[in-house]
């Protein structure tokens, strides 16, 4: 299936849709990211609603697709009319939904490069989360992946300690298959439990007596983000439990404050004529000479360095400079990738926000 690229790009112009090209392949991933300080409005239409891990080639052909954008339950207006996030109003179908656990990991979309499986996050091929997820599928599920029918797209929730958000999964590293989608029609395939992957838990039986969605929300199950309701007309609705929303709100407040601090610092640097130097080559050279580990070095990066992609550089290139004939300074200047990757900001956030500043 092909999309009209002219219409697609026109429909997402001035929106919060992001586009990232694959580093080596003719692949482009369309995702969604609203910067906390942005005043840009979310624009949802027949094209943008698909842009949450949508992978196209330069001709507009759909290579992989994820779930269309769906929204979070707010409250009942009437018995069968509800309000959702972003002021959306939806009429509930007469059918009874299937109810599944909502995992608090990172959504990943399976894609292929020369018969090797990789995972992209909803807006990036190259984020730390995407790199880690690709490692998991190649090391743990390679044979299962090679057996998959590629007329479908496979959507995973990726769980591992470094990207832990609110729910505590301990030291678990895994991929959880949460959906299979027909690339041509966009319809979900129901039977996904026999593909060799761990799958999302079906909680329908636990909520069989609920009278409305408020009752599901009030279950407020600890250490579970919430649930996803899936109706037979393809309608999906998220319900997030109150405990999770409260903790996530606090974390988001810290992240927003960090963004605001970076913006203010950059304005002050510009006013006072400071040169941009997000990561000092001397700092790296001394750290390597002194036998520092990557982990200890990353834990001491400041917010400006993190915002400009320093974590990714350390994990990708820390050891590579020894294989070159250039100095560390030359190697650094040639390989550093300037630019903020929103996915990377959550990487080991507890180390940065809690352990480092408040222990």
What pLDDT, in 10s, does the model give residues 219-232? 999 999 999 999 99
Work out how many domains the chain is built from and give that number.
2
One domain, residues 261 and 208: no
Among 241, 262, 296, which residue terminates a domain? 241
The pLDDT confidence band at residue 121, using thresholds 50, 70 and 90, is very high
In a domain, 27, yes or no: no
Among 206, 241, 276, which residue terminates a domain? 241
In a domain, 354, yes or no: yes
E strand or H helix at 111, and its extent?
A: strand 106-113
One domain, residues 225 and 257: no
Three-state SS at 283? helix
Q: pLDDT averaged over the chain?
A: 87
The pLDDT confidence band at residue 236, using thresholds 50, 70 and 90, is very high
In a domain, 54, yes or no: no
| DSSP 8-state symbol, 123 | T
Q: Would you say residue 93 has pLDDT above 50?
A: yes
One domain, residues 316 and 184: no
One domain, residues 203 and 254: no
Q: Which residue matches tokens 């390597």?
A: 288
One domain, residues 288 and 219: no
Mean pLDDT along residues 253-276? 85
In a domain, 48, yes or no: no
| Pick from 122, 102, 116: nearest CA to 54 | 122
| Pick from 199, 114, 115, 113: nearest CA to 154 | 199
One domain, residues 142 and 102: yes
Q: What distance in Å separates the CA atoms of residue 315 and residue 252, rounded to the nearest whole number?
A: 25
Tokens describing residue 221: 């199950």
Q: Would you say residue 142 has pLDDT above 90?
A: yes
Mean pLDDT along residues 6-23? 89
Indicate the length of the chain as a whole number: 359
CA-CA distances (angstroms) from residue 158 to 137, 165, 183, 341, 345?
10, 12, 21, 18, 16
Q: Would you say residue 278 has pLDDT above 50?
A: yes
Domain that residue 212 falls in: 70-241
Q: What is the CATH number of the domain that holds 156?
A: 3.30.470.30
Cα diameter, the chain: 70
Sign of CA dihedral 131, 132, 137, 140: positive
Sign of CA dihedral 226, 16, 113, 313: negative
């Amino acid at each position: 299936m092909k999309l009209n690229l002219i219409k697609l790009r026109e429909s997402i112009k001035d929106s919060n849709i992001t586009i990232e090209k694959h580093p080596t392949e003719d692949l482009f991933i369309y995702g969604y990211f609203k910067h906390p300080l942005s005043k840009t409005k979310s624009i949802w239409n027949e094209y943008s609603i698909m842009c949450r891990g949508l992978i196209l080639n330069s001709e507009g052909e759909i290579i992989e697709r994820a779930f269309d954008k769906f929204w979070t339950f707010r409250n009942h207006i009437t018995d069968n009319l509800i309000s959702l996030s972003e002021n959306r109003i939806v009429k509930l179908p007469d059918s009874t939904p299937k109810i599944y656990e909502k995992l608090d990991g990172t959504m990943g979309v399976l894609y292929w490069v020369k018969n090797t499986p990789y995972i992209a996050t909803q807006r990036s091929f190259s984020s730390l989360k995407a790199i880690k997820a690709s490692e998991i599928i190649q090391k743990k599920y390679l044979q299962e992946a090679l057996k998959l029918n590629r007329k479908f797209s496979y959507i995973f929730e990726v769980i591992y300690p470094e990207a832990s958000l609110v729910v505590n999964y301990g030291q678990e590293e895994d991929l959880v298959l949460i959906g299979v989608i027909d690339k041509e029609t966009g319809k979900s395939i129901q039977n996904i439990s026999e593909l060799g992957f761990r799958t999302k838990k079906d909680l329908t039986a636990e909520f069989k007596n609920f009278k409305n969605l408020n009752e599901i929300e009030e279950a407020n199950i600890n250490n579970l983000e919430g649930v996803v309701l899936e109706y037979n007309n393809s309608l999906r609705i998220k319900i997030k439990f109150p405990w999770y929303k409260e903790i996530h709100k606090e974390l988001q407040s810290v992240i927003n404050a960090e963004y605001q601090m970076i913006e203010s610092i950059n304005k002050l640097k510009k006013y006072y004529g400071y040169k941009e130097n997000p990561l000092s080559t001397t700092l790296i050279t001394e750290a390597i000479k002194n036998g520092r580990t990557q982990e200890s070095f990353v834990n001491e990066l400041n917010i400006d360095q993190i915002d400009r992609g320093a974590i990714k550089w350390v994990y990708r290139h820390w050891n590579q400079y020894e294989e070159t004939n250039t100095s560390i300074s030359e190697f650094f200047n040639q390989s550093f990738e300037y630019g903020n990757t929103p996915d990377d900001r959550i990487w080991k956030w507890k180390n940065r926000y809690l352990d480092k500043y408040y222990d």
